[in-house]
Structure 1
Amino acid sequence: MREVDLRSDTVTRPTAKMREVMAKAKVGDDVYREDPTVNKLEEKAAQALGKEAALFVPSGTMGNLLAVMTHTQPGDEIILGENSHIFCYEVGGLAKLAGVQAKTLADSSGIFSPKAMQEAIRDDNIHYPRTGLICVENTHNRAGGVAVSKVKLDDICNLAIKNNLPVHLDGARLFNAAAELEIDVKSLVKNVDSVMFCISKGLAAPVGSLLVGSKEFIMQARKNRKMLGGGMRQAGMLAAAGLVALEEMTNRIDDDHNLANKFAKLVKGLDSEMIRVRNVNTNFVILEVTDDIKGLITQLADRGVKISQFGPGLLRAVIHKDISNEDINYVVNQLVDVEGKFNE
């Protein structure tokens, strides 16, 4: 039986090239800054995004937490979307570990409005916490993989500059955003102060993310990483795969987006009353299900298709480098079969 995993692009497996370079990687103690492969990855990541420096971290969640910790002081308030990954899916680390509170704004379209942001910035009042940071996300996960335009990002950044506030970008799928917007990633993030991007999602490396920003910011983030237990010692084997991700995998992101559009088109062509396409953005396809969604997920799993619930009556299919045209055709056929079972 064919197996097709559409739950997330986190399930991507490293390429043969990645496995080869991991085995041969030169390593050292990264906490001492002596791992040459980690150093090379950090230099390449900083150059790719047009920033001064970068830091290799085990996960995107740690990268975002380090950004919050480094930009702020305990007791600050940060402004971010009510549907943002940092707020919804990072276990409350911003409160427990960074010691900041969240002011959330509506971001169902992928980003909040500059007007709402300006209204949320605290006045200088003895009773108020200090606004310390603005956080945005691109692509936006809970908005369904929406790529936020440079214009909208820059509107937020320009307002932040006027208010003397830093902006951190959760760019877990940043290269998906750049591909969708047909813009150079360096240009897209030019005006944000720090960026986290993952190499373990669509770029297919087995582990890791990069946090980029100014030299001073990264120096402090490196110390905070050590405090959180993120010093990885001989991490060059992992960084080697990350170098392949940046050198070879960023240029194939469009393939995933094209396949996502093909999948959406095929599902629409079924003219199903049970399963309909809500939207398709970047490598995300969001499906509306009018019947027993948990039963549908179980039925698909029995046929080798793994897919995630994305909210009441919604499924999320994430396309990645391990999904082929044949896989998509297989999934569509299984959807037809399952719907037939429900209608018996």
Structure 2
Amino acid sequence: TMTNQIAIKCYTQPGQEVICEQTSHVYIYEGGGIAFNSGCQVKPLIGERGRITAGQVESAVNPDDIHKPVSSLVCIENTANRGGGSLYDASEILLIRNACDKNDLSLHLDGARLWNAMEATNEGPEWYGKVFDSISICMSKGMGAPVGSVLIGAKDFITRARRIRKVMGGGMRQAGYLAAAALYALENNRPLLKRDHIHAKRIAAALLEKPFIGKMLPVETNIIIFEVKGNYTPASFSAFLKENNIHCIAISPFEVRMVTHLDVTEPMVDSLVELIGRM
């Protein structure tokens, strides 16, 4: 959250507008931070599984009209959390970049799960660094560090970002301990992301065999979002699994979210698949 909010503050002025998808983290999960920290309005777009298109960005840019806020920033999320870990096509990202350049907009990537996106596609860190003005990337989640998010950008951007971080109270002492854990994750844990994706697909396949499972979003990375129906509600389904030391979360009156990660082992997945089979 803080790295996203710092980036947004760097690129905007009060009264301007940020363009993003309607279920994006910066819009629904950051405590109204865009309004509180930056004094900006948000234009949420209706995307497909958390993703927007360049055409939508072009249409969302406000004209030069004193009655409308100045469009200044586009934020996209890859992978998209509420889209079930959905992935952007590289070609669409490049089109969005072109739309931003055409309309003098900055482009920020909420890459909390970018490691998963890079594992599932052919684009690497260098490619993302060239396309986006800034990137927020998480070292916990799939990478397994205990805490920490990194904000990446050009030198002058980072100079501004450090000042904003200080104003927001984000300066830390002895942060090297956290950096050491993040470096360990970079050097040792990236190859394990593929295993997380395989585990998620195994669990999804087992769930889809059950009559109480409704619509499931396509499982592209390590997130499984599905509807529960019949004899179970999301709350009762989650409670039953919790009794068996398996934790998931009800994210709506109809949906459950599961996430595989570094600490989920193959024997654990075996046990979960067996349990689902007996439900």
Query: What interval of TM-score do these two structures reach, taking the shorter chain for normalisation?
Result: over 0.9
Shift of 1:262: 1.8
2:24 to 77, 80, 84: 84
Shift of 1:302: 1.4
Q: Match of 1:281, SS?
A: coil
| CA–CA separation in structure 1 for the residues paired with 2:243 and 2:202 | 24
What residue is the counterpart of 1:121 in the other structure? Answer: 61
Q: Which runs of 5+ in 1 are unaligned?
A: 1-60, 340-344
Count of equivalent residues: 276
Does structure 2 conserve the Cα–Cα contact (< 8 Å) formed by 1:78 and 1:132? yes
- Letter in structure 2 aligned against 1:97: N
| CA–CA separation in structure 2 for the residues paired with 1:267 and 1:124 | 51
| CA–CA separation in structure 2 for the residues paired with 1:152 and 1:159 | 10
* Superimposed CA distance per residue, residues 90-128 of structure 1 (whole angstroms, 9 cap, x where no aligned partner): 000110111111011112333212222112111111222
- Letter in structure 2 aligned against 1:208: G
| CA–CA separation in structure 2 for the residues paired with 1:84 and 1:287 | 18
Q: Normalising to structure 2: TM-score of the pair?
A: 0.94
Q: Match of 2:131, SS?
A: coil
Q: Normalising to structure 1: TM-score of the pair?
A: 0.77
| CA–CA separation in structure 2 for the residues paired with 1:262 and 1:255 | 11
- In the TM superposition, structure 1's runs of 4+ consecutive aligned residues that sit over 6 Å from their partners are none
Q: Which runs of structure 2 are paired with 1:246-325 in the superposition (5 Å)?
A: 246-268=186-208, 271-275=209-213, 278=216, 279-291=218-230, 292-325=233-266
Q: Match of 2:143, SS?
A: coil
- Letter in structure 2 aligned against 1:281: E
| CA–CA separation in structure 2 for the residues paired with 1:280 and 1:119 | 30
Shift of 1:88: 0.7
Does structure 2 conserve the Cα–Cα contact (< 8 Å) formed by 1:174 and 1:185? no
Larger Rg: 1
1:222 and 2:179 correspond = no
What residue is the counterpart of 1:31 in the other structure? Answer: none
1:328 to 269, 273, 279: 269
Percent of aligned positions with the same letter in both sequences? 38
Shift of 1:220: 0.3
Q: Match of 2:189, SS?
A: helix
| CA–CA separation in structure 2 for the residues paired with 1:134 and 1:211 | 16
* Superimposed CA distance per residue, residues 32-76 of structure 1 (whole angstroms, 9 cap, x where no aligned partner): xxxxxxxxxxxxxxxxxxxxxxxxxxxxx0000000000111111
- Letter in structure 1 aligned against 2:228: V
Q: Match of 1:242, SS?
A: helix
What residue is the counterpart of 1:138 in the other structure? Answer: 78
1:154 and 2:73 correspond = no
| CA–CA separation in structure 1 for the residues paired with 2:193 and 2:103 | 36
Deviates more, 1:205-214 or 1:121-130: 121-130
| CA–CA separation in structure 1 for the residues paired with 2:88 and 2:251 | 20
Q: Match of 1:334, SS?
A: helix
Shift of 1:223: 0.1
| CA–CA separation in structure 2 for the residues paired with 1:236 and 1:325 | 33
| CA–CA separation in structure 1 for the residues paired with 2:31 and 2:121 | 31
| CA–CA separation in structure 2 for the residues paired with 1:96 and 1:276 | 38
| CA–CA separation in structure 1 for the residues paired with 2:93 and 2:153 | 16
Q: Match of 1:285, SS?
A: strand
| CA–CA separation in structure 2 for the residues paired with 1:277 and 1:255 | 24
2:183 to 236, 243, 257: 243
